Amino acid sequence: MMPTRGSLDRPFLSVTDLSVAFPTEDGLVHAVDGVSLSVERGKTLAIVGESGSGKSVTAQAIMGLVNRKAAKVTGEIWLDGQELIGLPQNEVQELMGSEIAMIFQDPMSSLHPFYRIGDQIAEAIRAHRPVGAKEARRETIEMLRHVGIPAVERRVDAYPHQLSGGMRQRVMIAMALINSPQLLIADEPTTALDVTVQAQILELISSLQKEFGTTVILITHDLGIVADVADEVAVMYGGRIVEVASTGQLYDRPEMPYTLGLLSSIPRMDREPERLDPIRGNPPSPINLPKGCVFQPRCNYSDRVPGGACLTVRPDLLESGPDHFVRCHLQIEERQQISREVLQVLAGAPQ
Amino acid sequence: MFTLLFFLSVTVFFLFNLLPGDPAALTCGRACSPAIIEANRHRLGLDEPVPTQYVKFVSGIFAGRTFSPDSPEPIVCNAPCLGYSFNRHEQVMSLIARAAPVTFWLAIGAFILWLVAGISLGIFAALRRGRWPDRLVMGISLIGYSMPSFFIGLVLMFFVVIKWQLLPFPSYISPFENPGQFFQTMLLPWIVLATLNAAFYMRLTRNQVLEVLNDDYVRTARAKGLPERVVVIKHALRAGLTPIVTAAGLDLAYLLGGAIISENIFSLPGLGSLALSSIIDSDLPLITGITLLTATIIIFANLVVDLLYTVVDPRVRIT
């Protein structure tokens, strides 16, 4: 789960102590602060968090999309035995779209409005492989059919505005997978879509993942969609990972109060509306992070920690069980007790 | 579009007839008596009610007309007849036809100059945002923007032509007759006329490019692993410069209506000079003619720009 430094057999993707800092007039803003994670080949890691938690910046740093002139990126990113952060720009560019591909949040604005979708996909092919225009078009049509676009022969020459949101996201997926990347980063791929289409797109991503053996990082703010697709879940808050566990473990025994808050925020039809229990307050401003635990101002349980450590000391991400790491000052027994109580309420047990 | 032109011509025609001053009185020189004024008024057709005058004016455009038919020397004005200037004793159409090429060449040259300078410097600044080349370009733009064109015109005229005598005194000649003299004459007017717009287009282009560089589809292009050059030119600029086409087309049309200040400083006999002198002389038929022509050009340019937009942007294409 957690990468061991200097280990010879690294996992397929391992990120160690990744930090991304943007210099601003108010000083350095640490959008991502010391994130470490790893994914085995062919598995899916979900990164969950609110807006501003640093999840998208983490993804963009792995992808190589963070502008190095505008931001300071430190740490190590190892992909299949290759370190990415130290790579020169032209090699990063070679990896982008071929070894690592990305699907973005808003399919409405992520396709170029002036070019036909087929040409946009073919452009991705020809950026990395010496393929003729005809062959590129043939591959494009095949891939579009593969991602479930009906009447492909006609649609391949359509402009993005002629397609629905779900269709456009399928086009984005086709574009991302066209060069058979080893790693696919999906940055909130369903957020902008209708609920009915969301499930289809997630299903498509995971079936294509199985077919191509792709490793997937799924970025989302919605813990509700993670359960079926992810093998592991990392919860991010204030630029840090606050809890990471296998998906089953995280849903059955979440320990970090923030994760509990996220789980309580998922609306469910089988629950009374008043039981929906959002996390109070707003995410912290990355310019002015709390001194102690970044979640402390919104935490319901910080007063249970003796000596007010939550206010003054940053907790470390510590092992809490097998494949389960939590960043919290609460005692393990106490966390588990709180977790059980919250889950009971969520399950609708009589109080 | 034709409806628009119709309402426009009505407005212009009636508006100018409301102007103070009696055009008939202006046509007779020093030795003037009420009798001569009345005779002239009749000769000009100004004794008729304004709607009748308007109908005659419009039918003149399509069928031609004859002025003072009952006098010994009737003036025949063939279609398209925009009227007759009794101050200059010449048809409005031929006055405009003489001035239009000057303005045309002036506008086209300035247009090319300001587009090339404005767009290229704007892109240059955007790609080096926040660093010294960007600040330099924006500084130049601010200076160009704040400098009145008569000031630049007079300064250039004074130093380049009079003091250093780098260029001969401007004297307009058709580019087909004497290209050398044509360019020598037009260079300064082009620069003066282009300065303001170039300054404006630098800012416009810079902002447009900066905006599209942050657009999602540009990030997608980057994520495909395309070289930065392709990302910028094919993806960002294509989208960013399209709205500039609209603005440029309309600005050109505006310029084609005559550049009063530049034409007067460099004594170019274009539409701007003609318009100015017609206003000074209260030459009503000429004012009406020039105003209608200018308005027609602008309406027409609007149409062309709209049609052009459907070519460059598939989203507005009618299928």
Contact check, Cβ <8 Å, B216/A94: no
CA–CA separation, A173 vs B269, rounded Å?
A: 62
Q: Give the residue from B49, B81, B113 where a domain finishes.
A: B81
Higher pLDDT, B22 or A276: B22
- Asked if residue B286 and residue B247 are part of one domain, the reply reads yes
**In this structure, is the dihedral angle defined by the CA atoms of residues A142, A146, A151 and A156, taken in order, positive or negative?**
negative
CA A37 to chain B, closest CA, distance in angstroms equals: 22
Residue A4 scores a pLDDT above 60: no
pLDDT band at A218 (very low <50, low <70, confident <90, very high): very high
Taking Cα atoms as reference points, which of A21, A58, A335, A20 lies closest to residue A218?
A: A58
Q: Which of B33, B55, B81 is the last residue of a domain?
A: B81
Give pLDDT, residue B78: 80
Residue A224 has pLDDT above 50, yes or no: yes
pTM: 0.82
Q: Is A88 on the interface with B (CB under 8 A)?
A: no
Q: Among all residues of chain B, which has the CA nearest to that of A179?
A: B224
| Full domain range(s) for residue B56 | 2-81
Q: Are residues A258 and A174 in the same domain?
A: no
- Is A168 part of any domain? yes
Mapping DSSP to helix (H, G, I), strand (E, B) and coil, where does residue A219 land? strand
B236: which chain A residues are within 8 Å (Cβ-Cβ)? none
Q: What pLDDT shows up at residue A1?
A: 46
pLDDT in tens, A176-209: 999 999 999 999 998 888 888 888 899 999 999 9
Residue A86 domain-assigned (yes or no):
no
Structural domain span for residue A122: 108-180
Q: Residue A48 falls within a domain, yes or no?
A: no
Q: What is the pLDDT of residue B222?
A: 93
List the single range of A97-111, A237-251, B296-310 with lowest mean pLDDT: B296-310
Query: Is 60 exceeded by the pLDDT of residue A350?
Result: no
A18-27, A269-278, B4-13, B154-163: the lowest-pLDDT one:
A269-278
What's the total number of domains in chain B? 2
> Tens of pLDDT along A85-103?
989 989 999 999 999 999 9
pLDDT tens sequence across A295-321: 998 988 888 888 888 888 889 999 988
Residue B269 lies in a domain: yes
Residue B109 sits in the same domain as residue B183? yes
Please check whether residue A126 lies inside any domain of the structure.
Answer: yes
Q: Are residues B116 and B251 in the same domain?
A: yes
Residue B132 sits in the same domain as residue B217:
yes
B54 and B176 share one domain: no
Considering chain A, what percentage of its residues have pLDDT values greater than 90? 60
CA–CA separation, A236 vs A244, rounded Å?
9
Q: Are residues B133 and B196 in the same domain?
A: yes
* Whether residue A351 has pLDDT greater than 60: no
Number of domains in chain A: 2
Which chain B residues are within 8 Å of A172, Cβ to Cβ?
Answer: 220
Q: Which residue has the higher pLDDT, A175 or B267?
A: A175
Spans in chain B with pLDDT lower than 50: none
Integer Cα distance of A203 and A200 in angstroms: 5
Tokens of B14: 């009636």
How many other C-beta atoms can be found within 10 angstroms of the C-beta atom of residue A14?
A: 20
Whether the per-residue pLDDT at A348 is higher than 80: the answer is no
Q: Is residue B69 located within the same domain as residue B218?
A: no
- Are the C-beta atoms of residues B190 and B113 closer than 8 Å to each other? yes
- Residue A6 predicted with pLDDT over 80: no
**Final residue of a domain: which of B32, B55, B81?**
B81
B89 lies in a domain? Answer: no
- Rounded to whole angstroms, the Cα distance separating A177 from A156 reads 16
Mean pLDDT, chain A, as a whole number?
88
pLDDT at A271 (0 to 100): 60
Amino acid B87: pLDDT: 79
Q: Does A282 score more than 90 pLDDT?
A: no
B86 found inside a domain: no
Question: Looking at the structure, do residues B53 and B159 belong to the same domain, yes or no?
Answer: no
The whole-angstrom distance between A196's CA and the closest CA on chain B is 24
Q: What is the mean pLDDT of residues A6-23?
A: 83
Residue among B225, B228, B239 whose CB faces A127 most closely = B225
Q: Which residues in chain A are contacts of B231 at CB distance < 8 A?
A: none
Q: For residue range A59-85, list pLDDT tens digits in order.
A: 999 999 988 888 999 999 999 989 999
Estimate to the nearest angstrom the gap between the alpha carbon of B277 and the chain centroid. 16
Å between B75 CA and nearest CA of chain A: 57
Q: Is the ipTM of this complex over 0.90?
A: no
Question: Do B182 and B270 share a structural domain?
Answer: yes
Beta bridge partner(s), residue A39? A13
Give yes or no: residues B45 and B117 share one domain.
no
Burial (CB < 10 A; 0-12, 13-18, 19+), residue A236, is buried
Distances (CA, A) of B279 to A173, B17, B260, B287, B297: 65, 13, 12, 7, 20
